[in-house]
């Protein structure tokens, strides 16, 4: 994944923290470090260090699919993001990628957010989290395609 980072405009780096090979695939734990402007209203509770998240993935070689879960380092109990990415042979020279997942955000009763500010702050924080996660889910496959296209001459 780290080779794809230059093709992802809002990712600074991806660190592989753990990789376990299994007979039927492998298990990964990657740390993603994002780039982005923290909304002014959220700067009191969201710091630059919180632009990191953990990606836990289980690759299944037989089905060419990967179950994944993203865990933020902020609002860990309030944000749930998980799904499956599948690679499906579409023709002799094409592969279709299917990305299915859920993103559940519930910022009610978040410690550290005063009740008076919760109504104003929660929508801004939700918008920030969605803006941080969603494009990366969508961009990974497009970035991987650009990376493979750019490295095609080297693979020949």
Residue 79: exposure state from Cβ atoms within 10 A (0-12, 13-18, ≥19): buried
Look at phi and psi of residue 36 and say left if phi exceeds 0, alpha if psi is from -120 to 50, else beta. left
Whether 128 has a pLDDT exceeding 50, the answer reads yes
112 within domain boundaries: yes
Look at phi and psi of residue 50 and say left if phi exceeds 0, alpha if psi is from -120 to 50, else beta. alpha
20 within domain boundaries: yes
Sign of the torsion formed by the C-alpha atoms of 30, 15, 7 and 145: negative
Q: How many domains does the chain have?
A: 1
Taking a C-beta distance cutoff of 8 angstroms, is the pair 75, 110 a contact? yes
**Token representation of residue 80:** 């749930």
Whether 6 has a pLDDT exceeding 50, the answer reads yes
Share of the chain above pLDDT 70, in %: 76
**Token representation of residue 92:** 């002799």
Taking a C-beta distance cutoff of 8 angstroms, is the pair 14, 31 a contact? yes
Q: How confident is the prediction for the chain on average, in pLDDT? A: 80
108 within domain boundaries: yes
Give the pLDDT confidence score for residue 156 in this predicted structure: 43
60 within domain boundaries: yes
Angstrom distance (rounded) from CA 153 to CA 37: 36
The enclosing domain of 144 has a CATH number of: 3.30.530.20
Give the pLDDT confidence score for residue 18 in this predicted structure: 96
7 within domain boundaries: yes
Angstrom distance (rounded) from CA 124 to CA 46: 11
Nearest CA among 22, 92, 105, 89 for reference residue 57: 22
Per the DSSP assignment, residues forming a β-bridge with 104 are 80
Give the pLDDT confidence score for residue 111 in this predicted structure: 67
- 19-39 pLDDT tens trace: 999 999 999 999 999 887 777
**Domain limits at 99?**
2-150
**Token representation of residue 36:** 């982005």
- 45-101 pLDDT tens trace: 667 777 888 999 999 999 999 999 999 887 788 888 899 999 888 877 778 888 888
Whether 153 has a pLDDT exceeding 70, the answer reads no
156 within domain boundaries: no
Give the pTM.
0.75
């Amino acid at each position: 994944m780290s080779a794809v980072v230059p093709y992802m405009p809002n990712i600074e780096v991806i660190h592989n923290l753990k990789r376990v090979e299994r007979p039927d695939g492998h298990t990964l734990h990657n740390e993603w470090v994002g780039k982005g402007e923290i909304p002014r209203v959220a700067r009191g509770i969201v710091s630059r260090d919180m632009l990191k998240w953990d990606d836990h993935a289980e690759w299944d070689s037989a089905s060419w699919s990967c179950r994944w879960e993203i865990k933020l380092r902020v609002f860990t109990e309030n944000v749930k993001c998980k799904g499956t990415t599948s690679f499906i042979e579409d023709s002799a020279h094409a592969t279709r990628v299917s990305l299915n997942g859920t993103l559940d955000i519930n910022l009610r009763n978040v410690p550290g957010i005063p009740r008076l500010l919760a109504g104003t702050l929660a929508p801004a924080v939700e918008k920030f989290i969605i803006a941080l996660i969603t494009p990366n889910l969508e961009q990974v496959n497009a970035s991987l395609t650009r990376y493979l296209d750019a490295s095609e001459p080297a693979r020949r």
